[in-house]
C-alpha cells in the first residue's frame, strides 16, 4: 500500500511540475543549478542588484534563480501570434514563432533555436532528475529545458518559461526588454 501511495504521489508531483521544476533557494539546491554567473562568463554581465532593478520579481525568479512558472499560466504557452521571441533579460533573439508548437505541456515549446550559438545547453541534475537546461548565451539567464521528444527532423522540444521571453514584432527595430511594472 505504501508503494502505491508513493507512486501516486510521485506521479502527481511530476504532473504538477511538468518539464520545469522550481528549485528551492537553499545553498544545496543552488549548487546543483548551472545558472550562476560565478561559474560561467557571458558577453552581457550585470550584478544581481542590476538584474533585480531590470526584471519583475517573477522574471528574476525564473531567469536568475532558475525557477519556473506553473504550467498553463504563462502568457505565451498558447499564443499563436507571429514574431520573434527574445530573452526577457537582454533582448537577444532566441526563437521564432514559426518554430513554436503545442506540446500540451503548458509552456511555450519550440522545435529549434533561431540560430546556433544563441543558447547554451547544460546538464541539470537538480531534484534527482537529469535534464538539459537552456540558458541565454548572451546573458546566462535560465530559459527552461530541452527534451528529445519534439517534432521535426531534430526531434527537439525547447520547453521555455513565458517569463523568460518576450514576443516582439519582427518589424520593431527599437525593441528592448520590458520594464519592471
Active site residues: 159
Q: Cα angle at 81 between 75 and 85, to 5 degrees?
A: 70
Residue 52 parent element (H or E): helix 48-54
DSSP reduced 3-state for 167: strand
Name the E strands within the chain.
Answer: 84-87, 93-96, 100-101, 109-110, 119-124, 131-136, 142-147, 157-160, 165-168
DSSP string, 82-105: -SEEEETTT--EEEEGGGEE--SS
Amino acid at each position: 500500500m505504501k508503494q502505491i501511495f508513493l507512486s501516486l504521489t510521485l506521479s502527481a508531483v511530476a504532473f504538477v511540475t511538468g518539464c520545469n521544476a522550481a528549485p528551492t533557494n537553499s545553498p544545496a539546491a543552488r549548487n546543483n543549478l548551472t545558472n550562476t554567473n560565478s561559474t560561467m562568463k557571458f558577453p552581457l554581465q550585470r550584478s544581481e542588484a542590476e538584474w533585480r532593478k531590470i526584471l519583475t520579481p517573477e522574471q528574476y525568479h525564473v531567469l536568475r534563480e532558475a525557477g519556473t512558472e506553473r504550467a498553463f499560466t504563462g502568457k505565451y504557452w498558447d499564443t499563436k501570434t507571429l514574431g520573434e521571441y527574445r530573452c526577457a533579460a537582454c533582448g537577444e533573439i532566441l526563437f521564432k514563432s514559426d518554430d513554436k508548437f503545442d506540446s500540451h505541456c503548458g509552456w511555450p515549446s519550440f522545435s529549434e533555436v533561431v540560430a546556433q550559438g544563441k543558447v547554451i545547453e547544460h546538464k541539470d541534475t537538480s531534484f534527482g532528475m537529469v535534464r538539459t537546461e537552456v540558458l541565454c548565451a548572451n546573458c546566462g539567464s535560465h530559459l527552461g529545458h530541452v527534451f528529445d521528444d519534439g517534432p521535426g527532423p531534430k526531434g527537439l522540444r525547447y520547453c521555455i518559461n513565458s517569463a523568460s521571453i518576450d514576443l516582439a514584432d519582427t518589424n520593431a527595430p527599437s525593441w528592448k526588454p520590458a520594464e519592471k511594472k
